[in-house]
Amino acid sequence: MIDTSIYLNVFLTISGLFLGLNLLGICYSKLILVNGINQLSYIPKYKHRPSSFGKHLPLILMNITIMCIVFPAGLYLMSDWIIVGYQNLWIVLVQLVAVLLIDDFYFYCFHRLLHKSDFLFKKIHNIHHRARNPFPSDYLYEHPLEWLIGLLGPFIAFLILGGVSFPTIVLFLIIKVLHELDIHSGVKSSLYRHLPFAGINEYHALHHKYQDVHFASVFSLWDWVFRTNYLSKTAKK
């Protein structure tokens, strides 16, 4: 287990980073809602509801708090198994891609289960889908139990890989948070829309509209593999 003094730095870094990114996300959400930014032209009637901001904010802040406490605590308690020393940038990048893929596969399976089980959907996941046309911070608008179980994904990835370096964890956190804010924004994707198997904003908007397509997040790979993308669904009809 890592030294307590080192852990304090880990706690402050992870918690501070997550808090800072999401405070920016809340400001970005408010900006979108106030200015009515919406460029998803092929999603019919996609319209943000500014009145939902105040209603959703308490749960969003609760899940931010949970993350700021639970994720660093998990890193500390499991540090002997999931944190290894930094070697070089290339290894960090390989670890990062592997963690993103494994975590996204876990998310796909868990997310799809939440939809396939009537009990889980009604009691847990339905909260998130009250945001039919979500704003960026709505990725945190979900049942705290769903949020906690979702946090297992990266830890599973860390264990499968036999541990990753701390820079890998920081980069993973930055990419994951920014991507979640982006795909819940309702703004047309541009930066990575042409990357192979990228999980773009339009896909997640379709998920919130139809609910039985695009269960993955960072990648669209798993939806293509398991034929839960929008094109596969419409081809069957």
Is 56's pLDDT higher than 60?
A: yes
Q: Which tokens in the block code for residue 24?
A: 């920016």
**In this predicted structure, what is the pLDDT of residue 187?**
82
Is pLDDT larger for residue 104 or for residue 193? 104
Residue ranges making up the domain that contains 225: 4-236
Packed helices 152-160 and 166-183: angle between N→C axes, nearest 10 degrees: 140
Query: How much of the chain is helix, strand and coil, in % rounded to 5?
Result: 70, 0, 30
| pLDDT band at residue 232 using 50, 70 and 90 as cut-offs | low
Q: What is the dihedral of CA 114, 226, 223, 158, to 10 degrees?
A: 70
**In this predicted structure, what is the pLDDT of residue 236?**
54
CA distance 133 to 165: 37
Cβ neighbours of residue 151 under 8 Å, at least 6 residues apart? 67, 70, 71, 74
| Tens-place pLDDT, residues 147-204 | 999 999 999 999 999 999 999 999 999 999 999 999 998 887 766 666 778 888 889 8
| Tens-place pLDDT, residues 199-222 | 888 898 889 888 899 999 999 999
Q: Which tokens in the block code for residue 136?
A: 């960026």
With contact defined as beta carbons under 8 Å apart, do 134 and 187 qualify?
Answer: no
Based on the structure, what is the number of domains in the chain? 1
**In this predicted structure, what is the pLDDT of residue 169?**
96
Is 38's pLDDT higher than 70?
A: no
- With 0-12 CB in 10 A as exposed, 13-18 as middle and 19+ as buried, what is 60? buried
**In this predicted structure, what is the pLDDT of residue 45?**
59
| pLDDT band at residue 11 using 50, 70 and 90 as cut-offs | confident
Which is it for the CA torsion 27, 104, 203, 200, positive or negative?
A: positive
Compute how many other C-beta atoms are within 10 angstroms of the C-beta atom of residue 237: 4
Q: Coil, strand or helix: which one is 163? A: coil
